[in-house]
Structure 1
Amino acid sequence: MARKRQKPLPNSLIVTQANELVEVRYNLPLGEQRLVLTMISRIQPDDADFKPYRVSVSDFAEFLGISRDSAYAECKKITAKLLTRVLHIREEGRLLQIGWMSSAEYIDGSGVVNLTFDPLLKPYLLQLKSSFTSCKLTMLLSFKSQYTMRVYTLLKQYEKLKVREVEMESLRDILGVRKDLHVEYKNFKINILLPTQKELAEKADLMFEFDEIKYGRRVGAIRFRISTKNPAIPLLPSDDMSAVNEVSYLTLELSSVNRFSDPSVQDLLSLISEQHRNKKTVHTALEIFSKRHGFDYVKRNILYSNAKADKSYAGFLNNALKADWGHDWDLEQQALPKKKPMEVWERNGFVSREQYDDFMYRKQMENYGLAIN
C-alpha cells in the first residue's frame, strides 16, 4: 500500500533532555526513537510531574509515513517493544537500568494512545534548569537513520564549542551498536559514520568533519569538528524569559569568540589553556602557521609549549612555531614506552575528569546565556 505523505509538525515543538540522557547508552529502532522524541516534545517547562502524553494514532501514521490502515497495529507493536527497552544511566557510584515508559494505554474507539514515562526519568526530563540540550522535533524526525538522530543530538550539545571528541568504545555504546556488529573500524566508518555525516550535511542545521585519533595502530577515538550551516540564537529555557532581552548581545559575543571559520584553528585553540586562548598573538600565530605548515606541525609545538613554557606563554609559543622546537620533542614522546591511552580530559590539558566536566558544563551554560557561580 502507498505510504502516506508526512504531515508537517509545528516548529515550536522542542525536545529537551538532560545531558546525561543525551549521552546514555540505549538502542532504539527508528520508529521507537521517533515516538519517544514526540513524547518528550509534549513536556512543558513548568510540568512538575509526568502526565499521560496523548499521541494520535493517525498523526503517528502521518509523521512516520505509514498507511493509516495499518497504523493502529504498527503503533501497538512499537509501544509493546518500547516497554521492554532498557536505558543504562551511569552516575557516580551507581548504574541505573530503567525503561523509557511505564505504560501505554489504548482506549477503544478514541484513536489515541496515552503514554507515560517511567517516574525515575523525572530528573532527566522535567524542569531542567541547567546541563541540558534542546533540539527541534521537526529536525529529528526528518532523519532516516537512528544513528543520525543520536549523533545529531551529541553534536548539538557541543555546537558552540565546535569540537567534540568521543572514545570509540563510548561512541559505539551511545549509538547502541551491538558488540558483534561492525567490529572493525572500517566497517563502522562505512556503515555508520559516513552515512550519518552525509545525512546531516543534506538535512540538518549542522554538519561535521572528523579526525581519527589513533592509539597505536587502531582508531581509538573520533574528533568531530562541528560547523553550523545557519547560525541560530541559542535555545533558552521557556521559563527563563529574562535572558531573551540579552539574545542579541549573546549572539554577537559568541560570534566574536568563535570568529575563525577554519575548524582546524578551533581544534588547535582547544589545546591551549583558557588563560591564553583569547590572546590575539596566539590567535594570529595559529592561523598563520597552520596555513603554512599544517595541523600536525602546529599541534606538536602547542603541546611542547604546554609542557615547557614557564613565563610568557604567547612569546614562547611563537618562537616554538618559528623554529619547530616541538619536532624533536614529539619524536622523543613517540619513542617513550607506550602507556594506557590518555583520557579525553588528559589530552585537553585538564588535571582531572571533574575539572574537564565542569569546564564543559560552564561552556554549555554560557551558550544558553546562564551565569554559573
Structure 2
Amino acid sequence: MDKQYLVTKSNYFIMNSSYDLSLEEQKLILTLASMVQPTDEEFKPYVFKISEFMELLGVDTKTKYTEIPKITKELMKKVFEIHEGNSILQVAWLSSARYEKGSGKVTLKFSPDLKPYMLKLNNMFTQYKLANILNMKSKYSPRIYEILKCNEFKQQGYIELEVEELRKLLKTDGIYTRYNDFKKKVIQQSQKELKKLSDIDFDFDEIKTGKKITSIKFYIRENSHDGRALNKTNKSNKSNKTKNTYDEISATVVPYEDVSDDMGIKKVQDMLKGHRVGPKSAKAIYENAKGDIRQIKKVYEYSKTQKIKSLVGFMKAMVVPGALEESIGMPRQLSFNNFSQRAYDGSDGGMTFDELEKKLLGWDE
C-alpha cells in the first residue's frame, strides 16, 4: 500500500453519483480503489493490513483493530445512487468484508455493479494519486477534489455547476441550508485544503439569478505548491512503474519557463527519459508546443490515462496549443497516425464541445 497508488474512476461515475460517507469511509474506499487496476477484467478480493491502512491515514490508536471493522460494517449498510440515463441504480460500495482473527488483515470486495465505472476504462476517466486526499480533514474536500479533477482540462477553463446540483452531488441537501454557511463550511474549506494538500486548486465566481446565487463557476488550475511527497524511484523498484504508481517526474508540476531552445529540448528528453525519445523527436515536440514546457508536461500526464500506440506521435499532435483541450471528451479513441481535429464549435452544424461533453456524461438526459 502506497500513497503514490492511483485512484481511477470514470468521469460519468464522478459526475452522476451522490453519496454521503464519513471522511474515514471515503478514505477507506479510495484506498481500496487505488488497489484496483483499471485494466482488470473483474474485481479481486483486495487484502491489506489494518496497521498499514491506519498508518497511511496518520492515525495512531490502540483501538485500530476494532475501528476498521466498525467502518466496514457501516459501509456495508450504505446504499448510494448512480443516475444512469432514465434509471437510478441503488448500490452498496462493498459486497463483502472478511477479517481473519489474529491476522491483522482485512479482505474487501467491491460490489460487482461498480465494474463499468472502475474497470476496463479506455477513455473519459479521471486518475489521481491517493496522496492528494489522505490528509484532508473535511468530508467534502475529497469529493470536490474529484469533481474538479474530472473537469481540469475543460476547454473554456472553468466548470459551472448549479448550487442545487452541487448540493445533490455532495449530499448536503438538508445541511447548511443557508448559502453563506454552505460557502464557508464546504466550498471555502475545500478550497483551503486543495491548495494546501493536492495537485490542483481553484478560484470561484458566484452567478446570481436576481438576488439569489444559483450557480458557481470553478476555475481550476494546477497547484505547484501541493503537499504531496515525491515517489523517488530507483533500480530496485522499477517494476512498480508497470503497476499503480508514477515515477518521480510525474509528481512535480512544471511551470512555464522561458528557456533556450537547446535547454528546452533537453528538458523534453529528460521528461520522457523512460521512453527513449531522440533529439529530433524531442525537438519536434518542443517546437509544436511553441516552447511551452508546462503544456508538454500536461500532455505527458494525460497520455498516461490513454491507450496509445506511439507516445511521440501522441505528444506531437497534442502539444499543439489548444489540441488537448479540444480533444478531451471525444467519444472514441483517436488515431494519431493520421491526426485530424474537429473544432466542436458548432461551425459545421454539429454539436459544440459543451453539448458533446454533456451528452457523453449524460447531463442532457
**Where on the TM-score scale, by shorter chain, does this alignment land: which range?**
0.5 to 0.7
TM-score (norm 1): 0.65
Structure 2: which 5+ residue stretches go unaligned?
224-252, 254-293, 326-342
Q: Which amino acid aligns with 2:69?
A: K
Alignment root-mean-square deviation, CA: 2.8
Structure 1: which 5+ residue stretches go unaligned?
1-7, 259-271, 277-348, 362-373
Task: Give, in whole Å, the separation in 2 of the partners of 1:239 and 1:225.
Answer: 25
Question: Structure 1 residue 17 and structure 2 residue 9: aligned?
Answer: yes
Q: Which amino acid aligns with 2:80?
A: L
Q: Which moved more, 1:159-168 or 1:238-247?
A: 238-247
Task: Give, in whole Å, the separation in 2 of the partners of 1:359 and 1:36.
Answer: 26
Q: Which amino acid aligns with 1:19?
A: N
Q: How far apart are 1:139 and its partner, in Å?
A: 1.0
Partner of 1:195: 189
Greater helix share, structure number? 1
Partner of 2:151: 158
Q: How far apart are 1:122 and its partner, in Å?
A: 0.7
Alignment of 1:142-181 (within 5 A): 142-161=135-154, 162-177=157-172, 179-181=173-175
Q: 1:62 aligns with which of 50, 55, 61?
A: 55
Q: Which amino acid aligns with 1:221?
A: S
Task: Give, in whole Å, the separation in 1 of the partners of 2:160 and 2:351.
Answer: 14
Alignment of 1:254-333 (within 5 A): 254=321, 274=345
Tell me if the contact between 1:45 and 1:237 (Cα under 8 Å) persists in the aligned partners. Answer: no
Distance 1:219 1:140, change over 3 A: same
Partner of 1:234: 301
Alignment of 1:207-222 (within 5 A): 207-222=201-216
Question: Structure 1 residue 122 and structure 2 residue 115: aligned?
Answer: yes
Partner of 2:358: 357
Distance 1:237 1:99, change over 3 A: farther
Q: 2:21 aligns with which of 28, 33, 39?
A: 28
Task: Give, in whole Å, the separation in 2 of the partners of 1:252 and 1:239.
Answer: 15
Distance 1:212 1:17, change over 3 A: same
Q: How far apart are 1:215 and its partner, in Å?
A: 1.9
Partner of 2:95: 102
Pair member with larger Rg: 1
Tell me if the contact between 1:129 and 1:237 (Cα under 8 Å) persists in the aligned partners. Answer: no
Q: How far apart are 1:182 and its partner, in Å?
A: 0.6
Task: Give, in whole Å, the separation in 2 of the partners of 1:354 and 1:91.
Answer: 18
Q: Which amino acid aligns with 1:208?
A: F
TM-score (norm 2): 0.66
Q: How far apart are 1:350 and its partner, in Å?
A: 6.9
Q: Which amino acid aligns with 2:58?
A: G
Q: How far apart are 1:353 and its partner, in Å?
A: 8.4
Distance 1:217 1:235, change over 3 A: same
Specify the SS of the correspondent of 1:128: coil
Q: How far apart are 1:244 and its partner, in Å?
A: 3.3
Distance 1:176 1:78, change over 3 A: same
Tell me if the contact between 2:8 and 2:128 (Cα under 8 Å) persists in the aligned partners. Answer: yes
Cα deviation digits, residues 265-315 of structure 1 (max 9, x gap): xxxxxxx98267xxxxxxxxxxxxxxxxxxxxxxxxxxxxxxxxxxxxxxx
Task: Give, in whole Å, the separation in 2 of the partners of 1:147 and 1:109.
Answer: 35
Figure out how many residues of one structure are paired with residues of the other and give that number: 267
Cα deviation digits, residues 197-234 of structure 1 (max 9, x gap): 11112222211111111122211111101121335433
Partner of 2:34: 41
Tell me if the contact between 2:3 and 2:129 (Cα under 8 Å) persists in the aligned partners. Answer: no
Alignment of 1:244-255 (within 5 A): 244-246=311-313, 248-249=315-316, 252-254=319-321
Question: Structure 1 residue 185 and structure 2 residue 186: aligned?
Answer: no
Percent identical? 34
Q: Which amino acid aligns with 1:78?
A: I
Partner of 1:140: 133
Q: Which amino acid aligns with 1:214?
A: K
Partner of 1:84: 77
Partner of 1:268: none
Partner of 2:219: 225
Q: Which moved more, 1:236-245 or 1:75-84?
A: 236-245
Specify the SS of the correspondent of 2:36: coil
